[in-house]
Each structure stands twice: as C-alpha cells, then as structure tokens.
Amino acid sequence: MATTSDIKNGLCIRHQSALYQIQEFLHKKTARGAGNVWTKLKNLENGKIIEHSFNTGSKIDVVRVETREYTYLYEDDLGYNFMNSETFEQIPLEKHLIENPHFLQDEMRCLIVFHAEEERPLSASLPSHIEAEITYTEPGVKGDTATNTLKPATIDTGAEVRVPLFINIGDRVKVDTRTGEYSERVKK
C-alpha cells in the first residue's frame, strides 16, 4: 500500500471500487490541523473526471498498469480495432476508452494502457499531433489578412477544426489531438 506522498500525475489507483488515473494533484496545507491532497481523477472505465481530497498520509491502493504500443487498423461494429506490432494480436476497443477517437488515422501508432493483472485494456492515447489534409473549408478571399481570425475546416479523418483564413482545400495542417486546435501549416 502506498500513501498520499506517492501521488503523481499518471498514477493509477483503485478508489471507491473503481480504477482511476490521477490527472492533477495539489498538496494543500492549512494553518491548523493536517493538510490534504486535492486530486483530479479520471475513471478508466467510463472516462468521467471527478475531484477528490485525500487526508495527508492516507493509504491509497496503487494498481499496476502496462503501456504498450499498438497500431490502429479500422473501425467496425465491435469498436476500434488495434494490432500489436510485435505479436500481431488484434484487440477491439470501445469508443469511450480512446482519447479523441475522431482524430484516428489508418496505421497510427497509439499507446494502450493495460491493467497488468487482468490483461484488460483501460485507455488509449493518440500521438500529441497529427498531420492531416483539409478536405473542406470555405475559400479564403484575397485581402483577408485579419490576424487571429479562424474559420471551420474538415480534415481527412472527418473531424472539424478551426484554421486561419489563408488555409485552403488540399493544404496539409498539423493538429493538436489533445485540444483539437490547429498548430501550423505543413510545408510540402
């Protein structure tokens, strides 16, 4: 058993009979009495985020997890299918286990977190940035050079992002998969 002094971002714990991953934490000390550790926890079964305060020194139940690299293959009625590049084992994942699945591209390498004792997938994360082609956007008008003005655009994965006015259909852009924001235009 670990204590609250072992808490760090990314740590997986069992709390209230469910598995959670610590997203953020903060040690709070009061003038009188014991301090506490405020945490933001993400439920690994359903993706919901909760906040919880632990008393300093409380015992926490740490869960051992393993991260493995898998390649995204396709989507079907079972979910999103991934393949282990070393063993060629294929596994389906439900949509709620994947962070921002609308940015998945064929043959994309993703990191899947497994519960080590149960060999059960808990979550999948995409690379932080992807390169995608703009498939639809309104054309930019010559002379439209206002700074920080964005327009909606659809990329080849089907996701919609907001891009600057000078971006046109066929341009390749870099998109942050965590926030869904445009980063830059990719030079050809």
- pTM (two decimals): 0.77
Q: Give the strands of the sheet with 90-93, arranged side by side.
A: 90-93, 79-84, 65-76, 109-115, 120-125
Q: Copy the structure tokens of residue 44.
A: 């690994």
pLDDT at 2: 87
| Statement: residue 75 has pLDDT above 80 | yes
Residue 140 CB partners (closer than 8 Å, separation 6+): 165, 166, 167, 168
Please state, in angstroms and as integers, the Cα–Cα distance from residue 161 to each residue in 118, 128, 152, 173, 186, following that order.
Answer: 38, 15, 6, 10, 15
pLDDT at 144: 62
Q: Which domains does the chain have, with CATH numbers?
A: 2-62 (2.30.30.30), 65-125 (2.40.50.140), 130-185 (2.40.50.140)
| Statement: residue 64 has pLDDT above 80 | yes
Among all chains, which residue has been given the structure tokens 């971002």?
A: 9
| Longest Cα separation, the chain | 65
Q: Copy the structure tokens of residue 71.
A: 């390649």
Look over the chain and give the mean of its residue pLDDT values, rounded to a whole number: 88
Cα–chain-centroid distance for residue 31? 37
